[in-house]
Amino acid sequence: MALYIKQDIEPDLTSAETVKRIHRQRGLAIAPHPLFQRIHDSLGEEGVLSVAKSIDPEVYWDGFDIFNAGAAAVTRGFPNEKALAFYLQHQDELGAPIGSTDSHGGLIGQAVTSYVDNLPDAIKSKDTGILLLDPEEFTARLATLLETLCPKRLRPGIIARGERIQRLHRSRIKQPLGVAVVQGGRHEEADLSFLSLRELGRYNLLTEGQKTGWLASRLALKLAYGNVTGLPADLFPMISVDNKIQPGSYSGPPFISANPNLHYSLSHSETVGMGGVSSHPVGVDIEKVIARSHRLLDYIATPGEQAQEEGGLDRHQLVTRIWTLKEAIAKGTQIGISMRDLVVQLSRQRGDTYAAKVYYRGKHLSDWRAEVFHRGDYYLSIAHQLEDTPQDFAIHWQ
């Protein structure tokens, strides 16, 4: 990296020649993420030392990027730890210690270089320090930023890209609701730029089989969030989808800490993800139609619930349809259908619209309204609490 230069320097020169031209402009030369081997333009130890040990008086380092927050998100290889050890070993030849974020999506200020008075003088005299930002503090600041860039204008709306497959709820209903569906592809080819650094760290810990569905559901939730709040897609890396960990469980309902007052739900099945965001309790579920045990239908649906369904559906389709409806409602309650004490009683209204009563340990908890859709091999359901039903919303297939 060439700091304080006045004119462009021709690319594709050798490292030594580039550094020499930087210094001829009285600029400063810094090696970015020098030992991050997964980045193709990292110099590596040999590349760094070839400049550091040059006998040419114009070829030397002014600074060394010890902590790179982008590299820190990668759990393998420990590039920052290696860089610090390498710096301690060669610090007389590597210039000032530098910390940086390496942001590609606006998440700046996570790792910074501290100095007093004048930055170039501080770098030349190695009088710098590396500071790391506390993630919770950043989240708090982020909420302020989002309010600045996207004033509170919760609205039902249309996501910028994607095919609009159906408009729902033409009746008079009030609250904003965003729903998005994302068809995932090969995760190796995915553009990960919508993930925050925290999410990128988590993504790297997933198994290969988990990655596509995880990505699709996260993107779907962020698209739905953008739909409701007006957050543009280029700011998606600034929000993180987290989980409220429930007692006795390793997971829990999703939420976006930048906007804790909204309600969130996500689901994925194989490579397709679905997300729902609303100002009121909401639940979504998506399931692929696959062969299931014949006894499952009797387990999840009462004879009355089975009888209200039309003919023409095979048993596997019927199971999936009812399952997604009940699962979406159960997710919306944030209790979860795995709880034995939760009972969801479906009553078909017309077409694909259902009313539902939820009972918890025999006591009536809430009334819900749910919609189910059949798209390709999948059933998708959206549920919302009946007291404040949404005014109008569209579901989008990305």
Rounded to whole angstroms, the Cα distance separating 198 from 142 reads 14
Nearer to other proteins, 144 or 302 (CB): 144
Report residue 201 as tokens: 């760290």
CB of 248 to other proteins, least distance (A): 32
Nearer to other proteins, 141 or 288 (CB): 141
Rounded to whole angstroms, the Cα distance separating 251 from 246 reads 6
Beta-carbon contacts of 373 under 8 Å, excluding residues fewer than 6 positions away, are: 165, 166, 352, 379, 380, 381, 395
CB of 359 to other proteins, least distance (A): 45
Nearer to other proteins, 220 or 300 (CB): 220
Nearer to other proteins, 64 or 373 (CB): 64
Beta-carbon contacts of 156 under 8 Å, excluding residues fewer than 6 positions away, are: 176, 177, 178, 227, 228, 390, 391, 392, 393, 394
Nearer to other proteins, 2 or 365 (CB): 2
Contact in structure between 235 and 106 (CB atoms under 8 Å): yes
Rounded to whole angstroms, the Cα distance separating 148 from 297 reads 50
Burial group, residue 237, by CB count within 10 angstroms (0-12, 13-18, 19+):
buried
Burial group, residue 307, by CB count within 10 angstroms (0-12, 13-18, 19+):
exposed
Nearer to other proteins, 125 or 171 (CB): 125
CB of 150 to other proteins, least distance (A): 12
CB of 396 to other proteins, least distance (A): 18
Nearer to other proteins, 7 or 293 (CB): 7
Nearer to other proteins, 50 or 334 (CB): 50
Nearer to other proteins, 234 or 298 (CB): 234
Among 338, 339, 291, smallest CA distance to 318 is for 291
Among 74, 85, 84, 89, smallest CA distance to 37 is for 74
Report residue 148 as tokens: 């600045």
Encoded amino acid at 144, one letter: T
CB of 130 to other proteins, least distance (A): 4
Contact in structure between 35 and 15 (CB atoms under 8 Å): no
Exposure on the CB side of residue 288, measured as CA atoms within 13 A: 10
Rounded to whole angstroms, the Cα distance separating 270 from 216 reads 10
Rounded to whole angstroms, the Cα distance separating 18 from 199 reads 35
Nearer to other proteins, 11 or 247 (CB): 11
CB of 260 to other proteins, least distance (A): 18
CB of 58 to other proteins, least distance (A): 16
Burial group, residue 26, by CB count within 10 angstroms (0-12, 13-18, 19+):
exposed
CB of 164 to other proteins, least distance (A): 22
CB of 134 to other proteins, least distance (A): 4
CB of 55 to other proteins, least distance (A): 21
Rounded to whole angstroms, what are the CA distances from 300 to 6, 26, 288, 322? 70, 73, 17, 8
